[in-house]
Amino acid sequence: MHHAGRRIHEAVVEAKAQAGPWLRRFLDVLLPRTCGTCGRMLGGADPHQFCGTCWQRITRIVPPLCPRCGIPYPAATVVPGEIGHVCGACRERRLYFQAVRCAGRYEGTLQTALQRFKFEERTSLARPLAELLVETFGLFFQRPAFDAIIPVPLHRRRLRQRGYDQAVLLARQVAALLDLPIWAGAIERVRYTQAQVGLSRQARRENVRGAFRVRRPERLAGARLLLIDDVVTTSSTVNECARAAFEAGAERLDVLAVARSM
């Protein structure tokens, strides 16, 4: 980029930092589109805000892994062809979900994509992220095993702060791609909890205890549910959500998440 061009670019970036959401969206149109990971200019063929190379480099989570929470194991610990043994954390807690599976590791391109999707209103990322989810679904699950899709519920206060519910946006795309119904309000978050980041495993579990409530239990009775989340760490949030579903009589609940943070 030549000198004057760079100054205009910097001015737009600065204006963008101070602008409200609508103006920011307008300024996005003026800025040259560059890859969110490597900064390379994007052509019209790149469907999301990353170049094809960086998107391909997302670290996928593949077996061997814990059959319940899906945490990956170093390949050497498992006999080839085997999915893996149940991990220590899953053996010492009561599990309400059947299985948690994540598309990739929460790092690099996937981490940037999720942060933009969640905090910077890049809602157009819902589609490519949902495609990753559906690919992962195909590796571990079968569509006839489910009656409906449920997004991990967001507390109303958090929804007001953010203006949109990223789990609902993701779940809607996944539901469309898998041709399954979405029951968006079936479970609600009744307790406003602090972010799980930085908390110990035990503290995480206590932080989310009793956070969810099933709105119409008769609807969930006997249902086989697929819960959609963006990032999973210890699975304590999704396990608590599964507990609410289980206590309402759901038959089983599996979790499909975009990324696993280690």
Residues within the interface to Zn ion (CB under 5 A): 35, 37-38, 40, 51, 54, 66, 68-69, 87, 90
Closest distance between Zn ion and the C-beta of residue 176, in Å? 27
Q: State the nearest-atom distance from the C-beta of 202 to Zn ion, in Å.
A: 16
CB of 241 to Zn ion, least distance (A): 17
Query: Which of 113, 187 has the CB closer to Zn ion?
Result: 113
> Taking the complex as a whole, how short is the minimal distance between the CB of residue 66 and Zn ion, in angstroms?
3
Indicate the residue among 33 and 143 with the shorter CB distance to Zn ion. 33
Q: Are strands 187-189 and 212-214 parallel, antiparallel or unpaired?
A: antiparallel
Q: How far is the CB of 196 from Zn ion (least distance, A)?
A: 17
174 or 255, CB closer to Zn ion?
Answer: 255
DSSP line for 205-256: HHHHTT-EEES-HHHHTT-EEEEEEEEESSSHHHHHHHHHHHHTT-SEEEEE
- 40-44, Cβ contacts within 8 angstroms, sequence gap of 24 or more: none
Q: Which is nearer to Zn ion, 54 or 187 (CB)?
A: 54
Contacts of 205 (CB under 8 A, 6+ apart): 93, 234, 236, 240
Closest CA to 216 of 250, 168, 169, 175: 250
Per the structure block, which two tokens stand in for 241? 């959500």
Q: Which is nearer to Zn ion, 49 or 171 (CB)?
A: 49
